[in-house]
Chain A
């Protein structure tokens, strides 16, 4: 597992990981889209709009997951002086932002037919919007500092401070009585979702994850090369 902390090892692994991951993501996407459009049933209440879930939920999960991994890498980078954490943070923040954006857009497309409005100010939606703004601030910070030494550490500190938002996003549906429905899938109990809908959801999640990893590999490699040549 050394390639997760060592840039050189990462480069070696990434070289022959990239194509399989990309291939896997294409297969999973075709499979997932096939499942979610043709092989899964309509909801008895929501009708066909339930299919938005297969984009909405995976992107929401991955937006949170990306931020959580960034938090772990920030701790590793600041406390244990692992510079790969800084590389990872710089490279992966835009991917998380895009996932959050997909989640927000698909959510409001889903909200219009279901709740009758594009946007409501409930706790889940607000906290996800804040998560998006935090991602944007991370990206802008990466662009606006001139000194790389300061920039990467300040961004890591900001990620750590901003991570207080994560539990708020996760538990907002449980803490407050909101319009957004509570989680239907959790580890501890049996999921309250039908297997015929669960299958495409899980396939789509893995497809999103794979495409995320593929882009992340590309971006991290670019970042490593930029640092080696001292371009920034």
Chain B
């Protein structure tokens, strides 16, 4: 009975997140537009040579995915923190670590998944062969969940930082270096697919394990000193 209640609460947490994100859907769309415009700019600056573009296309997609997902980091906890909803959720029986996990998945669902869905279009624009799409999806799926975890850590660290918000993006970018190295490697070395995806998955598990601890502690600190 208690467990059913708890599951219900989690479901309605996501109902709330869904309502919130639906009302701010133009923000997510703006992110995606930013993503595509940046692809255009990349192509214009390199020149429309098909061979070159398809050679570095995956790198471009990954870089821009990283940049545009750090754009929405500010929304991660900031709104809920400032209007006191974080506290209300906590008082409703969620520990802060659990809130961090739930929020991470919600960021993955409502911010990263739209990017994942727009990847096939980006592939067409960048001349990446369609049979490589499956590798791309595998690496992007794991990589973007890792990015969500990192985003949770960095944005919870910067809740009380009013002066220098770009620091949060820098933190995400510095820790995402290994993810980018391995996931771009997947496309160029398909025979190594299994080992590389295992490494990516290992990184995801490490970050996923650190995430509730680090974010929970930072959230507690920020709530305490607000």
Contacts and interface: CB of A to CB of B under 8 A. Distances in A.
Contact of B160 (A130, A145, A161): A145
Nearest to A152: B221
Nearest to A156: B217
A157 B160 CA distance: 14
A147 interface: yes
Interface string B176-197: 0100000000000000000000
Nearest to B213: A157
B214 A161 contact: yes
Given A130-B177, A157-B214, A144 B225 contact: no
A51 to B, nearest CB: 33
A183 to B, nearest CB: 22
Given A130-B177, A133-B174, A147-B225, A154 B167 contact: no
A140 interface: yes
Interface residues of A, number: 23
B157 A157 contact: yes
B174 A144 contact: no
Interface residues of B, number: 22
A137 B210 contact: no
A144 B177 contact: no
B5 interface: no
A195 B177 CA distance: 39
Contacts of A141: 157, 161, 167
**Chain B contact residues: over half helix, strand or loop, or mixed?**
helix
Interface in B201-223: 206, 210, 214, 217-218, 221-222
Contacts of A145: 160-161, 163
A175 to B, nearest CB: 12
B218 A157 contact: yes
Interface in A77-95: 78
Interface string A74-112: 000010000000000000000000000000000000000
A140 B221 contact: no
Contact of B170 (A78, A137, A150, A164): A137
B225 A157 contact: no
B178 to A, nearest CB: 8
Given A130-B174, A133-B174, A157-B217, A150 B225 contact: yes
Contacts of B170: 133, 137
Contacts of A144: 161, 163-164, 167
Given A134-B174, A150-B221, A161-B175, 12 more contacts: A137-B174, A144-B161, A144-B163, A144-B164, A149-B225, A150-B225, A153-B221, A154-B160, A154-B218, A157-B214, A157-B217, A157-B218
A-B pairs, top 9 by smallest CB distance, nearest first, are: A144-B164, A144-B163, A150-B160, A150-B225, A150-B221, A154-B157, A147-B225, A149-B225, A153-B221
Interface of B: 153, 157, 160-164, 167, 170-171, 174-175, 177, 206, 210, 214, 217-218, 221-222, 224-225
